[in-house]
Chains A and B, each alone.
Chain A
Amino acid sequence: MRTGDYKQTYGELVALVDSPPVWLWSAVLVLALIVAPHVLNSYALSFLIIILITVTGALGLNILTGYTGLISLGHVGFLVTGSYAYAILVSKYHLPPLVGFLGAGVVPALASLIVGAPSLRLKGLYLAITTLAFSFIINTVILEMRWLTNGARGIAVPRPEIFGISFDGDAAFTYLCLGIAILTLLATLNIRRSRIGRAFVAIRDNDIAAPVMGINLHAYKLLAFVTSAFITGIAGALYGIYLSFVSVEGFPFLLSIEALAILIVGGLGSTLGAVLGTILIVLLPEATRLVFSLFSAQMDAMFTTGAQELKSMLYGLVIILFLRFQPRGLVGAWHDIRRTWVHWPLRY
Chain B
Amino acid sequence: MTALLTVENLSKRFGGLQAVADVNLSVAAGEICSVIGPNGAGKTTLFNMISGVLRPSGGRIVYDGIDLKTLSPWRYAAAGIGRTFQNLALFKHGTVVENILTGRHTHLRSNVFDAVIFFGRTRKEEVAARQRVEHIIEFLEIEHIRDAVVGTLSYGQQKRVELARALACEPKILLLDEMVSGMNQEETEDIARFVLDIRDELGITVLMIEHEMRIVMDISDRVHVLNFGRKIAEGTPDDVKRDPAVAEAYLGRQRAETLARAGA
Instruction: Give me the interface of A with B, judged by CB distance under 8 Å.
Output: 10-11, 13-14, 16, 187, 190-191, 193-199, 201-202, 205-206, 208-209, 211-217, 223, 227, 269
Contact = CB atoms under 8 A, between A and B. Distances in A.
Given A201-B93, A206-B89, A190 B118 contact: yes
Interface of B: 51-53, 72-78, 82-83, 85, 89-94, 98, 101-106, 108, 110-112, 114-118, 122-123, 126-131, 134, 165, 169
Given A214-B105, A215-B74, A194 B110 contact: yes
12 contacts: A11-B123, A11-B127, A194-B110, A201-B93, A206-B90, A212-B77, A213-B106, A213-B165, A213-B169, A214-B74, A216-B74, A269-B93
B72 A13 contact: no
Given A10-B127, A209-B90, A194 B85 contact: no
Contacts of A209: 85, 89-91
Q: Is the interface of B mostly helix, strand, loop or mixed?
A: helix
A216 B114 CA distance: 18
A213 B77 contact: yes
A216 B72 contact: yes
Contact of A190 (B105, B117, B130, B131): B117
A217 B77 CA distance: 13
A194 B91 contact: no
A193 B169 contact: no
A110 to B, nearest CB: 16
Contacts of A223: 112
A17 to B, nearest CB: 13
Contact of B105 (A16, A193, A199): A199
Contacts of A216: 72, 74
Given A190-B116, A195-B108, A205-B94, A213 B103 contact: yes
A209 B130 CA distance: 21
B72 A10 contact: no
B105 A194 contact: no
B189 to A, nearest CB: 27
B127 A14 contact: yes
B135 to A, nearest CB: 11
Nearest to A269: B93
B74 A217 contact: yes
